[in-house]
Structure 1
């Protein structure tokens, strides 16, 4: 609130209070943890390519040449996409790291880069970056993460038009075994342009890249980071699935994640292919309206 008032004082009243030289970003990195930094995303964040392998692992090393994995573009909710990771499903692929040896803070926009072939001219694709590990996290699915309370905080003097008081808020929390951290979608034929489709030649491999939504999030030590690739996301899309068979060239595919690191990441342990995630996942449908 102090920052907001300084900003209004500067731009509305012309007060030279130095607000424009202060850090531009306050970043929430945990349910009750905020940091202030010069800009966002974190400056100097290292773009780390994580690569999928045929055994279901995700790490720094590419898969062997010629390794592929396949799924079919069907309509699935995200709860089904991230359930029972470690078990093969015809409608999704899932790749998981081992238990992380340190906290890893994502700051920015993960980018998915797949070499793939379809048996049809297009497919709908979904990419999810998932944090596996029991934890109490910010529950953004309810009220954009906050509940507005009846109690007020007052700042400064009041006038007849404005009493200078604001309703307090409480952070919404939820304890779950996982969180979908970043998500992104692509209609393959519109990979280069939203208005000019470029259908693929069935059976021919093509490099396809798309961004997920940006985020700032800490994957905690001991948790596992997963990449899930699937077809049509029924949680967010009303589109029909294409039914296309999607074959991914694992050796030439990756997800690049911007991590705020003090030194290059030397190792991301690959998870054993026998690891299984939660068999059933309950993730309430997000409230899309703003409050």
Structure 2
């Protein structure tokens, strides 16, 4: 399916082309094909070293720094000089980021660099080196309040999104910009077709700009990107942090003099409402999901299945919302954590990205939209292609919780009996909670399946439902789904989040003395382990019925609490054991608001809903005849959540 803007643009260009063919002899018609197009692909024919490098400041129509002067967004551009001379209009690949000066981009933390006269000489990442010789312009946009832009960063808010949207408008002749000397800058050299790309915060703003429905944005490639900022900082009312929230993040990337943006940061702190963890108007402004129906652009999503920074709920909810709107989509899911595909499947990523941009920005009829829509790394460096995600035929199958031997419970098809009790143990780490599942560890309850009698495909979002009786008005409930069985797994908990950086390099594009196209290669960090945590999820029990209006629980009364775990996709081989691990407070991942509870769980009315693909008539898990004995060695420590906030990029 094609987006409305692409259909209109392609039709107009087709009509113009048809008119040219009718009016011109064959030789003249052939000369209309620019030199960078050969058949259905672009090729590197333009001189990157001699390309035009320039900077413009785009007016946003906003003034959130309150100085009475309209805020302006700085845009550094590089484009082929040959197309400018020949009057050939070209599309634009854009990476809008807050990190170009404060922190750097990519695995090697590259920053923009400038000559003494202010001319940009180096762009981070490979996009400029690779695509400019192929007939593209590249635009590196500084968010409001960062680097050379004015205004103040509001972290996913109106200033951030509309400031970047203003650049798309300018590239389509609907906005104003100036050069450093104040003279007007006009983008007469471009077709107006824009593709946004970026990892993490960069990809998040691409989602947000696409959700405005701006015309001219033909495609976005969000990599490990946020779709709702509430979901970045919280999960079902459970806070991930109070120290590194939007106010802190705005200051972390701030490029303005210290006092200028403090009022904006104060407003961010107040609006985020750390006291309750509730969803409010502040977070609604930063939630792109409701506006997925407005997206005109195609979307190529890439995400890590083990990303503990921008978790998998972000890609899954965005992907599903786009699907409901009929948006053309493509999806890559890799095994590492918060890592760009350029750093774990480089050659295939660049090739696919090349075809994607050629199709959506150059209107070249290649095969990219006829290829499988979904590509998943099933195990380290083993990739499969599929038609959709979640997998076709996936349905939530209820799995019951059984009492087992009183220490270790069971997962199976028959409802359990009796109750089990959880006592809060805030000091309990994830490693201690999930290791040695047949041991009696205070603060946790483990439920194990029998060894699987066939391969089990889990694809989508599992949910946990517990019937609970609590000792105090609120508590946190935490759950982990665990794959028990010795296997080679990506070590996404180690530094590098699943990849190691090597000393060797590979080059992707054309280099200059100031801006080389070579990047250090990587390899997967694979370890043999006795178990792997597949997915996690938390809930603040007072938010069990509403994220906007928490309701305290009455001690001694029974309540039903249901919450989702992070979406996931895996195939558990026959012989493995599936485990569900329940705890209360989780100081390693969240900031529990009221620790110290004791919680009784009614097993008969509690369950795990597992998204699986099954032959008709078969249950998800085999009948547990005895509680399986599962021994595990000590696991590596999980990444420190506090450290992650400083490595968001």
Task: Please say which of residues 24-33 and 191-200 is displaced more in the overlay.
Answer: 191-200
CA distance in 2, matches of 1:241, 1:173: 38
SS in structure 2 opposite 1:232?
A: coil
Structure 1 gaps, min length 5 = none
Aligned counterparts of 2:505 and 2:611: Cα–Cα separation in 1:
38
The separation in 2 between residues aligned to 1:9 and 1:164, in whole angstroms, is: 20
The verdict on how the C-alpha distance between 1:162 and 1:23 changes in structure 2, with shifts beyond 3 A counting, is farther
CA distance in 2, matches of 1:74, 1:16: 59
Answer whether contact 2:484 2:630 (CA < 8 A) is retained. Answer: no
- The Cα of 1:276 is off from its aligned counterpart by 4.5
Task: Name the SS of the counterpart of 1:144 in structure 2.
Answer: coil
CA distance in 1, matches of 2:563, 2:628: 30
Matched, 1:210 2:559: no
Q: Are 1:54 and 2:403 matched, yes or no?
A: yes
Match status 1:270 vs 2:624: yes
Q: Between Structure 1 and Structure 2, whose CA radius of gyration is higher?
A: 2
Residue deviations 1:1-56 (CA, integer Å, cap 9, x gap): 32111011122322222423432211011112111112222121132221111111
| Kept after mapping to 1: 8 A contact 2:474/2:594 | no
2:599 aligned residue: 246
Distance 2:502 2:436 in 1: 38
Seen in structure 2, the aligned counterparts of structure 1 residues 211 and 275 have a Cα distance that, compared at 3 Å, is same
Establish whether residue 132 from structure 1 lines up as the match of residue 484 from structure 2.
yes
How far is 1:164 from its partner?
6.3
1:240-286 C-alpha deviation (Å, 9 max, x unpaired) = 652111111101111111123454534524162362433x6322222
Contact map agreement 2:482 2:535 (CA 8 A) in 1: yes
Partner of 1:234, secondary structure, is coil
Name 2:373's counterpart in structure 1: 24
Find 1:187's aligned residue among 535, 540, 550: 540
1:71 aligns with 2:422: yes
Structure showing greater relative contact order (alpha-carbon pairs closer than 8 Å, 6 or more residues apart): 1
Deviates more, 1:204-213 or 1:231-240: 231-240
CA contact (8 A) 2:468 2:602 kept: yes
Provide the secondary structure at the position in 2 that maps to 1:178.
Answer: strand
Aligned residues: 287
State the alpha-carbon separation in 2 of the partners of residues 264 and 2 from structure 1.
43
Matches within 5 A, 1:34-113: 34-55=383-404, 56-64=409-417, 67-75=418-426, 76-113=428-465
- Offset at residue 195 of structure 1 (A): 3.5
Judge which range, 74-83 or 260-269, deviates more: 260-269
Query: Aligned equivalents of 2:458 and 2:449: distance in 1?
Result: 15
Per mean C-alpha deviation after superposition, the further-off stretch among 144-153 and 199-208 is 144-153
- The worse-fitting range, judged by mean Cα deviation, of 127-136 and 82-91 is 82-91
1:220 is matched with 573
User: RMSD of the TM alignment (CA)?
Assistant: 2.3
CA displacement at 1:133 relative to structure 2: 0.9
> Equivalents in 1 of 2:591, 2:629: separation in Å?
33
**Aligned residue in 1 for 2:586:** 233
- Tell me the secondary structure at the aligned position of residue 484 of structure 2: strand
Larger strand share, 1 or 2: 1
Matched, 1:2 2:355: no
Consecutive unaligned residues in structure 2, runs of 5 or more = 1-349
Q: CA deviation at 1:78?
A: 0.7
The equivalences for 1:103-182 within 5 A come to 103-142=455-494, 143-154=496-507, 158=510, 167-182=520-535
Q: 1: distance between equivalents of 2:611 and 2:519?
A: 36
Report the 3-state secondary structure (helix = DSSP H, G, I; strand = E; otherwise coil) of the residue aligned with 1:6.
helix
Larger fraction in helix = 2
